[in-house]
């Protein structure tokens, strides 16, 4: 089969001819119908985030058709439309047993620690595979498995309830899903904080109240618009210390900040004023749970999570085309979402 692989960090991905993977007894072989090109793939190719061992087929946002199943797999059948949770997990360890398989002791991310979806076929454990209803396109079925799933996990971790107010810091890929999901949860008001007018315009179309952080202090703005109360839930989806601080300062009494933006820098908190005095909480968000995928599929199927604003381009399984997309993602950092449809 054809697969587009990272052979050496810092070098373009290369098309290689590989054998179709062997299917283990608990595995499923999927013919890839769509594989999202994600911003993290830019980091993998550049060597900023180490991928080992090489060569490795990238691609962790995958949808396709079941081609073959292992002898112990009864739940799935050849011909099923499916999407893939990006962690291949064991199902036997302490974390898998408790339903927190993103901490699986032998968990491997597809497209990083094991071969991913930039290929004609991918083999994954059946427990990572979910039926994809026919109302959801291949492209949407693929891209919802990364940023949308993590947005849903962030809202779950923040325990968002109907009637509450939410501020979403960062109206990029995660934010676009978070805004819509927060509305589907029944949030009373959803604020979107960003510095780019184009992103804020999309956020507004999706039902958020836009707040331009370049035009003034977003904390003051949020306090003003909530009559000095603050928001019940804030999500930080950017990974900037100053934004994390703003998000903490925006919280109401009993407010919860869930942080999904990644940074290795620290940020300051004034313990009494910003946390203890309001019994506020700061919560870390890491990936998402397999059990969150079926509800996510339902949100998309019911049209509560629209992804048509997100997919902007499809490319074929071709190393040059994929490298070109990765180049432009790296250069502009824009939310150009491209999906490989082999």
Query: In the complex, which residues of this chain contact Zn ion (CB under 5 A)?
Result: 38, 89-90, 93, 96, 104, 146
Shortest Å distance, C-beta 150 to Zn ion: 9
From 128, 133, 110, select the one nearest 35 (Cα to Cα). 110
Q: How many CB atoms lie within 10 A of CB 108?
A: 16
Instruction: Check residue 119 and report its DSSP letter.
Output: B
Residues 6+ positions from 215 with CB-CB distance below 8 Å:
none
How would you classify residue 254: left for phi > 0, otherwise alpha for psi between -120 and 50, otherwise beta? Answer: left
From 176, 235, 248, 230, select the one nearest 208 (Cα to Cα). 176
Q: Are strands 189-194 and 209-212 parallel, antiparallel or unpaired?
A: parallel
| Beta carbon nearer to Zn ion, 89 or 128 | 89
Helices (H) and strands (E) in the chain, counts: 10, 18
Peptide bond into 55 cis (omega under 30): yes
d(CA 76, CA 127): 10
The string of DSSP codes covering 49-86 is S---SSSEE----EEEEEEEE-TT--S--TT-EEEE-S
The CA-atom distances, in angstroms, between 176 and each of 16, 83, 167, 208 are: 35, 20, 12, 10
Shortest Å distance, C-beta 223 to Zn ion: 34
Shortest Å distance, C-beta 93 to Zn ion: 3
Q: Which residue is at the shortest CB distance from Zn ion?
A: 38
| Beta carbon nearer to Zn ion, 33 or 222 | 33
| Beta carbon nearer to Zn ion, 81 or 112 | 112
190, 208 contact by CB (below 8 A): yes
Shortest Å distance, C-beta 159 to Zn ion: 25
d(CA 239, CA 165): 22
Shortest Å distance, C-beta 267 to Zn ion: 24
Shortest Å distance, C-beta 264 to Zn ion: 19
| Beta carbon nearer to Zn ion, 142 or 167 | 142
Shortest Å distance, C-beta 291 to Zn ion: 14
Shortest Å distance, C-beta 226 to Zn ion: 33
């Amino acid at each position: 089969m054809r697969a587009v692989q990272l052979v050496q960090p810092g070098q373009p991905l290369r098309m290689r001819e590989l054998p179709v993977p062997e299917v283990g007894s608990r595995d499923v072989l999927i013919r890839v119908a769509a594989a999202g090109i994600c911003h993290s793939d830019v980091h993998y190719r550049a060597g900023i985030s180490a991928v080992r061992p090489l060569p490795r087929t990238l691609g962790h946002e995958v949808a396709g058709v079941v081609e073959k199943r292992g002898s112990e797999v009864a739940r799935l059948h050849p011909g099923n439309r499916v999407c893939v949770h990006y962690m291949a997990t064991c199902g036997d360890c302490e974390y898998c047993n408790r339903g927190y398989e993103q901490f699986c002791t032998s968990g491997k991310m597809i497209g990083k620690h094991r071969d991913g979806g930039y290929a004609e076929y991918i083999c994954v454990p059946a427990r990572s595979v979910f039926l994809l209803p026919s109302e959801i396109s291949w492209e949407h079925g693929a891209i919802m498995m990364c940023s949308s799933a993590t947005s849903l996990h962030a809202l779950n971790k923040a325990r968002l309830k109907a009637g509450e107010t939410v501020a979403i810091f960062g109206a990029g890929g995660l934010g676009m899903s978070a805004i819509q999901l927060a509305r589907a949860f029944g949030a009373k008001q959803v604020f979107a904080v960003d510095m780019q007018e184009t992103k804020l315009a999309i956020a507004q179309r999706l039902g958020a109240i836009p707040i331009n952080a370049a035009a003034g202090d977003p904390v003051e703005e949020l306090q003003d618009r909530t009559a000095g109360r603050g928001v019940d839930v804030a999500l930080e989806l950017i990974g900037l210390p100053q934004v994390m601080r703003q998000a903490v300062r925006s919280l109401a009494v009993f407010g919860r900040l869930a942080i999904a933006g990644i940074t290795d820098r620290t940020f300051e908190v004034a313990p009494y004023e910003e946390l203890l005095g309001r019994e506020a909480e700061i919560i870390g968000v890491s990936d998402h749970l397999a059990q969150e995928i079926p509800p996510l599929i339902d949100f998309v199927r019911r049209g509560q999570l629209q992804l048509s604003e997100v997919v902007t381009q499809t490319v074929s399984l071709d190393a040059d085309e994929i490298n070109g997309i990765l180049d432009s993602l790296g250069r502009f950092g824009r939310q150009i979402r491209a999906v490989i449809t082999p």
